[in-house]
Amino acid sequence: MATELAKTVTAVEMGARQREISVSEFFTKNRHLLGFDNPRKALLTCVKEAVDNALDASEEAGILPDVVVKVDVVPTNGSPPPPASQATRFRVTVTDNGPGIVRQQIPPIFAKLLYGSKFHRLRMSRGQQGIGISAAGMYAQLTTGKPVQIISRTSARSAANFFEVSIDTKKNEPRIFESKKIDWEHPRGTQVTLEIEGRYQKGRASVDEYLEQAAIANPHVKLVYLTPESETREYPRTIQELPPQPKEIKPHPYGIEFGMLLRMLHDSKSHSLAGFLAGDFSRVSPALAAEISKSAKLSPNARPRNVHGEDAEALYKAIQATRIMAPPSNCLSPIGEKSILHGLYKQIKGDFYTAVTRPPAVYRGNPFVIEAGLAFGKGPEQAAATADAPAVPLAEGEQHGDDSELARVIRYANRVPLLYQQSACATFKAVLETAWKNYGIAQSRGALPAGPLVIFVHMASVWVPFTSESKEAIADYDEIRKEIKLALQECGRRLGVFLRRRERAKTEFRRRNIFELYIEEVVEACARLKGGKLPKEKLKGQLHKIAMKRTGGVRTDEILGRNGGPEGLPHSIIVTLEGTEGAAPELPSAVTSDVAPQEEPPVEIDEPTAAPKTKGKGKTKAAKRKKR
């Protein structure tokens, strides 16, 4: 009976069940789409969204960002807090020195999905859709029931606003629990606090890794990270100026799809088709607009609103068939070779660093810039340590352990580190496709190159094509992959030059060395053969003389000399025990104020930090314990 009933549902009854789905409800059910698949990733996503927003806001307002990230363990049901690795509940607090948010905008920004300033304009920024931070808030609400807490202050003259908000998931509207004016120690900025369920685990794709990588790509940011294990990690600012402000641009005609064109035609404020084309798109001059109208067999004076159906289709085809200049690239703000170098040098120990920024290119009408960088080696101190280590000679069959670690790829889109779905990412594919063997780096088929190598790839674009909403991997467009490969090849070429140069110096050294070693052996053996009746020192002297002559003597010293420099290696740093070559940044010494960085008396050394030290430069870094 029941089945028969089910069969006879009428269209009216079905109609009664059909209703709108709120975006918030949709995302509540599909939170993995936004990067909240599991507790560990959720913790990372929350930190990431808050930091992205902080940086975007500060940069847009022209403020050098100071960001403090604090992750605390929250004790559950009154018991003392468990160790960070066991904890399941965390409080994430991100504080910036940005412009602050005006009072009435605070609730929608933090508690309304798809609300933001970045979606509707073509300009490079970290965030794109206006989902991130409100989704993080929704996740908090879902797992702990706690609302998002916001403190924001726009200037020292006004009071700070304190809010507690959460999302009404049905209506996708903010619900305000608390709203008051408070005193805040910071003159300006925003602080977000989220209480969420999560897991803190170090290693790959952790919060630690994310912040470290963010510091590499954003050397103009001063970042302080208070870990759940109550450590303080500081990533100092090494570039004292903001990256140039990216300009907002109009869409390029090649980049729009047909439906988009229809909407633009409908919404246009222009009164003529030619005016619409020239006014609403970039790189379309009035002359070009007339040409497009002509080839579409439409009147340049037609009202845009009246162009639809077949006419619109003809227009769309005409646009695709016309040669139009590539979009302007001033909407992009690449990190720049110098900053990448500084970032890598600051965070990764190595012997060689290089960076390449490609000229702008275009995919689907969207301009983009690819940047790549390399950090190679283990740092001179460690290399020297391992060279000294094997104090015992090798037994038969033993070999000097050249550990087969694979290169690490660090990926960025608009300065944001991408930590998940590496193998789905265009950058990763480009790294695999680059023939690293040509540059003296081992690489097995279909694998990452092997060696102590960190490969940095950054894509800057007004619209980065991600493979999913959680922004984890860059989609594989041919144009993008080609640019990445070109950048990597240039980096690889420079690395090859460096390696060959170093190898040559080594062989020259070894050449001289072997003869010295072997002369000793040969003379001893000859003396024994002659029954001990041999003036050993005389023979040794004679042989040494021949060796000197054969290996070029003084000339070898010149080849071995330090005048090799990074010539032919633009935008590169070479680090040796003797010092650095190339434009290495002066790592800031531990000073507690940004105002007067110089003329501080030597600070006492608290503990060594992770950042590389440059021997012979006399700068010693001391970790700063106190936070201002």
Partner 1 sequence: MAQAKAKKLGVVEKKLVGVADVVITAAERSKDPALAIPVRSLANINFNAKRGIIEMGKRKQARTFFNVGMAKKFMQTVLVADALAELQRADLTTSLREIYYRTKHTMKGSHENTFDGQNESDPLIEDLEVTLAALREELHVRAENAGSIVGPVVLADDGDRVDCARLGKGGYSVPSIVEPEFIQIRRCTADFVLLVEKGTQWNRLSEDKFWRRYNCVLLTGNGQPPRGVRRLARRLHEEYEIPVYVLVDNDPWGYYIYSVVKQGSINLAFESERMAIPKAKFIGLSSSDADTYGLPRNVGIKLNDKDIGRAKELLRYRWFEKKPWQEEIKRMLASGLKYELDALANKDFRYLTKTYLPRKLREEDWLD
List residues binding partner 1 (CB under 8 A).
390-394, 396-397, 507, 511, 513-515, 517-518, 520-522, 525-526, 528-530, 534, 539, 542-543, 545-547, 549-550
- Cβ 557 to partner 1 shortest distance, Å: 18
Closer residue to partner 1, CB minimum distance, 308 or 545: 545
- Beta carbons of 58 and 51 less than 8 angstroms apart: no
Cα distances (Å, whole numbers) of residue 361 to 114, 119, 369: 29, 22, 6
- Cβ 503 to partner 1 shortest distance, Å: 14
φ, ψ dihedrals at 148, nearest 5°: -80, 135
Alpha-carbon span 470 to 139, nearest angstrom:
14
Closer residue to partner 1, CB minimum distance, 203 or 535: 535
φ, ψ dihedrals at 224, nearest 5°: -120, 130
Burial degree of 18 (CB within 10 A; 0-12, 13-18, 19+): exposed
- Beta carbons of 228 and 90 less than 8 angstroms apart: yes
Closer residue to partner 1, CB minimum distance, 15 or 397: 397
Closer residue to partner 1, CB minimum distance, 260 or 546: 546
- Cβ 506 to partner 1 shortest distance, Å: 13
Tell me whether strands 66-73 and 222-226 are parallel, antiparallel or unpaired. Answer: parallel
- Cβ 577 to partner 1 shortest distance, Å: 20
Cα distances (Å, whole numbers) of residue 193 to 87, 133, 320, 458: 18, 11, 48, 29
- Cβ 441 to partner 1 shortest distance, Å: 25
The count of residues in the chain is 628
- Cβ 536 to partner 1 shortest distance, Å: 11
Closer residue to partner 1, CB minimum distance, 504 or 530: 530
Give the CA radius of gyration of the chain: 31
Closer residue to partner 1, CB minimum distance, 242 or 547: 547
Residue 285 makes CB contacts below 8 A (sequence gap 6+) with 278
* 354 closest CA partner among 365, 364, 362, 343: 343
- Cβ 504 to partner 1 shortest distance, Å: 13
Closer residue to partner 1, CB minimum distance, 12 or 391: 391
Closer residue to partner 1, CB minimum distance, 285 or 507: 507
* Dihedral, CA of residue 374, residue 380, residue 381 and residue 386, to nearest 10: 100
Cα distances (Å, whole numbers) of residue 86 to 37, 78, 142, 201, 232: 19, 16, 21, 9, 20
Closer residue to partner 1, CB minimum distance, 203 or 397: 397
Burial degree of 415 (CB within 10 A; 0-12, 13-18, 19+): buried
* 373 closest CA partner among 471, 263, 456: 456
Closer residue to partner 1, CB minimum distance, 14 or 391: 391
Alpha-carbon span 581 to 567, nearest angstrom:
10
Q: Which helix (H) or strand (E) covers residue 459, if one does?
A: strand 453-461
- Cβ 560 to partner 1 shortest distance, Å: 16
- Cβ 405 to partner 1 shortest distance, Å: 23
- Beta carbons of 331 and 249 less than 8 angstroms apart: yes
- Cβ 437 to partner 1 shortest distance, Å: 24
- Cβ 524 to partner 1 shortest distance, Å: 8
- Cβ 624 to partner 1 shortest distance, Å: 42
HSE-CB for 13 with a 13 A CA cutoff: 6
* 345 closest CA partner among 565, 577, 574: 574
- Beta carbons of 89 and 428 less than 8 angstroms apart: no
Closer residue to partner 1, CB minimum distance, 534 or 622: 534
Alpha-carbon span 129 to 147, nearest angstrom:
22
* 450 closest CA partner among 439, 464, 460, 465: 439
Alpha-carbon span 59 to 545, nearest angstrom:
66
- Cβ 512 to partner 1 shortest distance, Å: 10
- Cβ 554 to partner 1 shortest distance, Å: 17
Alpha-carbon span 315 to 308, nearest angstrom:
9
H runs (alpha helix) in 397-477: 426-433
Closer residue to partner 1, CB minimum distance, 547 or 591: 547
- Cβ 454 to partner 1 shortest distance, Å: 30
Closer residue to partner 1, CB minimum distance, 64 or 539: 539
Closer residue to partner 1, CB minimum distance, 535 or 618: 535
The type of residue at 556 is T
The dihedral sign for the CA sequence 435, 441, 442, 446: negative
Closer residue to partner 1, CB minimum distance, 437 or 538: 538
**CB 355: neighbour CB atoms within 10 A?**
30
